Amino acid sequence: DAGITQSPRHKVTETGTPVTLRCHQTENHRYMYWYRQDPGHGLRLIHYSYGVKDTDKGEVSDGYSVSRSKTEDFLLTLESATSSQTSVYFCAIKGGAGLQGQYFGPGTRLTVT
Amino acid sequence: GENVEQHPSTLSVQEGDSAVIKCTYSDSASNYFPWYKQELGKRPQLIIDIRSNVGEKKDQRIAVTLNKTAKHFSLHITETQPEDSAVYFCAASQETSGSRLTFGEGTQLTVNP
């Protein structure tokens, strides 16, 4: 599992409220990613990080912000949740030597009512 | 940006038959092509990948082929088993550009006993 955890695993929130999802890794990986998964769209990149305080936008970044103040934590924030942000959110890391490719966390199911 | 198309969206085979899933990509700079398997309610799992300097790669019953000229790559599963039933995703990225993955929309593979 590449030492990746996500919290919370499930969350229900109301439209207009802020929400923060946490991704935590224990193996000092440099690259971390946030994706969302929706039926008919596969997985789409929201934001990614290539180091502490170094982040960049993905293809569906509107309405989301991220922060990475420590190597092990990558936070995804929905400033004001909307129903269109109801989704399953996956965090991923890019493996280093001996662990090629990207590896995903267990996911967070977010419902915005 | 990169665009990845995946076909078919659903595939049903009999146990023991072969299954082939095809993907095309648009950006000739893409050089890394992973395949993921996702079982219901689980995280995507990397099952095989290929880089642009290789035309084919095999791992037991699965293989991936890449045609850079035509910009398409395929996943081949031989001697299918019921436990191969899952959603399979292809993806493409440039490894020197943050390794941001662009995913296809997925193929639901069902292996009938």
CB contact under 8 A, A41 and B98: no
What is the per-residue pLDDT for B53? 85
B103 and A44: CB-CB below 8 Å? yes
Over residues A10-37, the pLDDT tens digits come to 999 999 999 999 999 998 999 999 999 9
CB contact under 8 A, B103 and A42: yes
Position B97 scores a pLDDT of 60
For A106, the closest of B43, B103, B105 (CB atoms) is B43
d(CA A48, CA A50): 7
- Tell me the pLDDT tens digit for each residue of A49-101: 999 999 999 999 999 999 999 999 999 999 999 999 999 999 999 976 655 68
Does residue A31 sit at the B interface (CB-CB below 8 Å)?
Answer: yes
- Whole-number Å distance between alpha carbons of B6 and B105: 6
**Residues of B at the A interface (Cβ-Cβ below 8 Å)?**
1, 6, 34, 43-46, 49, 89, 91, 98-106
pLDDT-derived band of residue A104, with 50, 70 and 90 as boundaries?
A: very high
Q: Which of A42, A94, A105 sits opposite B106 (nearest CB)?
A: A42
pLDDT of residue A81: 97
pLDDT at position B24: 98
Which residue does chain B place closest to A2, by CA atoms? Answer: B45
Q: Looking at the complex, does the CB of residue A41 fall below 8 Å from at least one CB of chain B? A: yes
Q: B42-63 pLDDT, tens per residue?
A: 999 999 999 988 899 999 999 9
- What is the rounded average pLDDT for all residues in chain B? 94
pLDDT on residue A97: 60
Inter-chain residue contact A102 with B99, CB threshold 8 Å = yes
- pLDDT confidence bin for A42, thresholds 50/70/90: confident
Angstroms from B14 CA to nearest CA on chain A = 25
- Residue B28: helix, strand or coil by DSSP? coil
* Cβ contact A50–B101 (<8 Å): no
Q: Name which residue leads in pLDDT, A101 or A8.
A: A8
Interchain CB contact of A101 with B (< 8 Å)? yes
Distance CA A26, CA A45 (A): 22
Cα separation, B83 vs B61, in Å, equals: 13
Cα-Cα-Cα-Cα torsion A33, B65, B54, B57, nearest 10 degrees, comes to: 90
- Number of residues that make up chain A: 113
Measure Cα distances from B25 to A84, B4, B59, B69 in Å.
Answer: 27, 5, 23, 11
Q: How sure is the predictor about B106, in pLDDT bands with cuts at 50, 70 and 90? A: very high
Q: Residue B100's CB: how many other CB atoms inside 10 A?
A: 21
Cα separation, B79 vs A12, whole angstroms = 42
How many angstroms away from the CA of B90 is the closest CA of chain A? Answer: 10
Cβ <8 Å between B46 and A102: yes
- A20-43: string of b/e by CB count within 10 Å (b at 16+)? ebebbbeeebebbbbbbbeeeebb
Q: Is A100 in contact with B1 (Cβ distance < 8 A)?
A: no
